[in-house]
A and B are shown apart, each in its own frame.
Chain A
Amino acid sequence: MALELQVEKKLREFTLDVSFSAAEEPLAILGPSGAGKTMLLRCIAGLERPDRGRIVLNGRGLYDSGRRADVPPSGRRIGLLFQQYALFPHRTVAENIAFGLAGHPAGGREARVAELVKRAHLEGLEARHPGELSGGEQQRTALARALAIEPEALLLDEPLSALDTHLRSQVEILLQETFAKYRRPAILVTHNMEEAYRLCSRLVVLSRGHVAAAGEKEAIFRHPPTLEVARLTGCKNFSRARVVADHIVEATDWGCRLRVEQPLARPPAYVGIRAHHIGFAEAPAPGSSAENTFPCRLLNSSETPFRMTLFLRLENGPGEPGAPHLQVEIFKEKWERLRASPQPWHVQLSPESLFLVAE
């Protein structure tokens, strides 16, 4: 079971030029809005025609510009979940789910609908119209409808973005169950990196139509290959970097020298660290200095229910006095202890959390 694709399509602001393959484990396409994610899904489903390329699903050529092959969407057997569900408003939940089962014998059809209703936890809602359902129920109906045709691949376009937090986790669980049971290529498009990380094992990072990174999610999050990917995967802190010695870089925007764990394969352009990887240390004894630990002052902070985001300025750092150097995320408990201690505080940028990226 595999979906292989190589797609080129000129869009208004850039050219979508993407190639990757998806096997049985779910794959997330992560990218900011306007990166071409939805267009890519539409090309795979056959709703848009690429300018050039090849789409092959389980050995079946769906599109091939060289051989002028182009299977219409109705013949592709690809389940597509639309961002706004696109449930037929004039049909009930059961009728929506049964839409793709037109070829089945009547008796088998009813049993199949009942099974799908059960799996999507929609019991009791069969006779309702989509307008009478909550967002989560609509999304579950759309998923059941897409799965009814036993698609050979499943495409999900921002399946959670229109839901509020509570419904989101419900639908997320259903998606996890579906992926676990389904074992066919599944592609989830999202701009939310946490969603991508929780639901999928493999990741393709898309930026302005091209693949910025592809691979196992852990590897991409731990060592983003480029500055762009680091930003897209949510990293907030960067400084230009210059190699000083083996495992030592000079962070010119922060005005400090840092020891890094990561080997220096090629000259790095930037050193970065994630906001929640930054720690705080006790003030070192006068005259001595601790590794990768620097005095800093608090410029600003913002509060969420369980965490604090702190904007810090390194005491010896360069640049405008009011501009923060680092953004740090800490839990409230730690914040309570930290705020009680006198400034300057001491941030610790541990060598194993620092990563180096190319331009």
Chain B
Amino acid sequence: MPMDWSPLWISLATSVCATAITLVAGLAAAAWRERRRGPAIAIVDGVLVLPLVLPPTVLGFLLLLLFGRNGPLGKLLLAFGATVVFSWPATVIAASVVAFPLMYITARAALEQVDPRFYEAARTLGAPEWRVLREVVFPLAWPGILAGTILSFARALGEFGATLMLAGDIPGKTETIPLAIYFAVEADEFRRAAAWCGVDIAISIVLLGGLYYWTHAQGPGRLRWARR
């Protein structure tokens, strides 16, 4: 039987979209969090990091409640004639929610590393807050932000439980590599499962190697100033 490559493309498309969403949402949340202190923030923090510690099945169940026919968001989308459950966007939603805490935690740590005097200087020079973030804080924090992005991508690529519950296993539509492996094993197609495992391991090695290269081993270039 010829190999059906669709799980690879679905996985890559899902991970790219989910990473883009977590990057924006994670940075915004981390930048918002940086400016605040107090006990209420600790609760917000806990909620934002929750997907990291909850079993993916719990997340999948909660997402089903949220996006299902009778869920608040599901009803809202239905009003526009859209259903999310068992569709490709569901894989993106599941992967985004699961990957978000990694991006948020790494970005927050990276922003905390930036010396406050840099953004104070930018403010006294007349820069509005969005410019302080875009031109001073994010560039100074970018090795950390990059690390968070790659970790989020890797996590999105490996997402299984929540995806299965929210998006199901529809070959050619929602079947990502992890799902393909699980159902290949279940159908006793060990060779197919092994092939997908090999693909997954190869992608992960490239990603983590790239992460190391970008943050440590890069030659004289954009990181030149950061090493001083």
Q: Do A and B bind each other?
A: yes
* B-binding residues in A (CB < 8 A): 45-47, 72-80, 82, 84, 86-90, 99-100, 102-103, 129-131, 145-146, 148-149
When distances are taken between beta carbons in the complex, the residues of chain A under 8 Å from B127 are 74, 99-100, 102
When distances are taken between beta carbons in the complex, the residues of chain A under 8 Å from B140 are 88-90
- Enumerate the 3 nearest inter-chain pairs by beta-carbon distance, A residue then B residue, closest first: A131-B228, A100-B125, A86-B117
List 17 interface pairs A-B (beta carbons < 8 Å), by A numbering.
Answer: A47-B123, A73-B120, A73-B123, A74-B124, A74-B125, A82-B120, A86-B121, A87-B121, A88-B118, A89-B225, A90-B226, A100-B125, A103-B126, A130-B225, A145-B125, A146-B125, A149-B126
Q: For the complex formed, measure the closest distance between the CB of B110 and the CB atoms of chain A, giving whole angstroms.
A: 14
The CA of A148 and the CA of B124, in the complex, are separated in Å by 11
Q: Which residue of A lies closest to B136 (CB)?
A: A88
Asked if A129 and B126 make an inter-chain contact with CB atoms under 8 angstroms apart, the answer reads no
Query: In the complex, which of the residues B126, B135, B224 has the most CB atoms of chain A within 10 Å of its own CB atom?
Result: B126
The CA of A190 and the CA of B135, in the complex, are separated in Å by 31
B122 at the interface (CB under 8 A from A): yes
Asked if A47 and B225 make an inter-chain contact with CB atoms under 8 angstroms apart, the answer reads no
Q: State the majority secondary structure of interface residues on B.
A: helix
The CA of A271 and the CA of B224, in the complex, are separated in Å by 59
B115 at the interface (CB under 8 A from A): yes
When distances are taken between beta carbons in the complex, the residues of chain A under 8 Å from B228 are 89, 131
Asked if A82 and B121 make an inter-chain contact with CB atoms under 8 angstroms apart, the answer reads yes
The CA of A90 and the CA of B118, in the complex, are separated in Å by 11
Asked if A74 and B126 make an inter-chain contact with CB atoms under 8 angstroms apart, the answer reads yes
Asked if A149 and B226 make an inter-chain contact with CB atoms under 8 angstroms apart, the answer reads no
When distances are taken between beta carbons in the complex, the residues of chain B under 8 Å from A47 are 120, 123-124
Asked if B124 and A45 make an inter-chain contact with CB atoms under 8 angstroms apart, the answer reads yes
Asked if B118 and A79 make an inter-chain contact with CB atoms under 8 angstroms apart, the answer reads no
The CA of A324 and the CA of B225, in the complex, are separated in Å by 53
The 8 Å CB contact of B139, one of A76, A86, A90, A145, is A90
Asked if B122 and A99 make an inter-chain contact with CB atoms under 8 angstroms apart, the answer reads yes
Asked if B120 and A74 make an inter-chain contact with CB atoms under 8 angstroms apart, the answer reads no
The CA of A148 and the CA of B122, in the complex, are separated in Å by 12
Query: In the complex, which of the residues B115, B128, B225 has the most CB atoms of chain A within 10 Å of its own CB atom?
Result: B225
Q: Which residue of B lies closest to A142 (CB)?
A: B121
Given A77-B126, A100-B126, 4 more A-B residue pairs with CB atoms under 8 Å apart are A78-B124, A87-B121, A89-B140, A149-B125
The CA of A146 and the CA of B126, in the complex, are separated in Å by 10
Asked if A89 and B226 make an inter-chain contact with CB atoms under 8 angstroms apart, the answer reads yes
Asked if A73 and B118 make an inter-chain contact with CB atoms under 8 angstroms apart, the answer reads no
B191 at the interface (CB under 8 A from A): no
When distances are taken between beta carbons in the complex, the residues of chain A under 8 Å from B224 are 129
Asked if A99 and B117 make an inter-chain contact with CB atoms under 8 angstroms apart, the answer reads no
- B92-141 at interface with A (beta carbon < 8 Å): 115, 117-118, 120-129, 131, 135-136, 139-140
Q: Given the known A-B contacts A47-B120, A73-B120, A102-B131, are A90 and B126 also in contact in the complex, defined by CB atoms under 8 Å?
A: no
The CA of A129 and the CA of B220, in the complex, are separated in Å by 13
Asked if B128 and A84 make an inter-chain contact with CB atoms under 8 angstroms apart, the answer reads no
Asked if A86 and B115 make an inter-chain contact with CB atoms under 8 angstroms apart, the answer reads yes
The CA of A76 and the CA of B124, in the complex, are separated in Å by 7
Asked if B117 and A82 make an inter-chain contact with CB atoms under 8 angstroms apart, the answer reads yes
When distances are taken between beta carbons in the complex, the residues of chain A under 8 Å from B124 are 45-47, 73-74, 76, 78-80, 146
Q: Which residue of A lies closest to B227 (CB)?
A: A131
When distances are taken between beta carbons in the complex, the residues of chain A under 8 Å from B128 are 74
Asked if B118 and A84 make an inter-chain contact with CB atoms under 8 angstroms apart, the answer reads no
Query: In the complex, which of the residues A45, A47, A87, A129 has the most CB atoms of chain B within 10 Å of its own CB atom?
Result: A47
Q: Given the known A-B contacts A77-B126, A90-B139, A131-B225, are A84 and B121 also in contact in the complex, defined by CB atoms under 8 Å?
A: no
When distances are taken between beta carbons in the complex, the residues of chain B under 8 Å from A149 are 125-126
When distances are taken between beta carbons in the complex, the residues of chain A under 8 Å from B121 are 80, 82, 86-88
The CA of A93 and the CA of B117, in the complex, are separated in Å by 17
Q: Which residue of A lies closest to B120 (CB)?
A: A47
Q: For the complex formed, measure the closest distance between the CB of A41 and the CB atoms of chain B, giving whole angstroms.
A: 10
The CA of A188 and the CA of B220, in the complex, are separated in Å by 39
The CA of A82 and the CA of B86, in the complex, are separated in Å by 57
When distances are taken between beta carbons in the complex, the residues of chain B under 8 Å from A78 are 124
The CA of A76 and the CA of B120, in the complex, are separated in Å by 13
The CA of A131 and the CA of B226, in the complex, are separated in Å by 9
The CA of A102 and the CA of B130, in the complex, are separated in Å by 13
- Residues 136-149 of chain B: 1 if any A CB is under 8 Å from the residue's CB, otherwise 0? 10011000000000
Q: For the complex formed, measure the closest distance between the CB of A325 and the CB atoms of chain B, giving whole angstroms.
A: 46
When distances are taken between beta carbons in the complex, the residues of chain B under 8 Å from A45 are 124
Q: Which residue of B lies closest to A72 (CB)?
A: B123
When distances are taken between beta carbons in the complex, the residues of chain A under 8 Å from B139 are 90
Query: In the complex, which of the residues A79, A86, A87, A103 has the most CB atoms of chain B within 10 Å of its own CB atom?
Result: A86
The CA of A78 and the CA of B123, in the complex, are separated in Å by 10
Query: In the complex, which of the residues B118, B124, B129, B131 has the most CB atoms of chain A within 10 Å of its own CB atom?
Result: B124
- B211-228 at interface with A (beta carbon < 8 Å): 224-226, 228
When distances are taken between beta carbons in the complex, the residues of chain B under 8 Å from A79 are 124
Q: For the complex formed, measure the closest distance between the CB of A166 and the CB atoms of chain B, giving whole angstroms.
A: 23
The CA of A72 and the CA of B126, in the complex, are separated in Å by 9
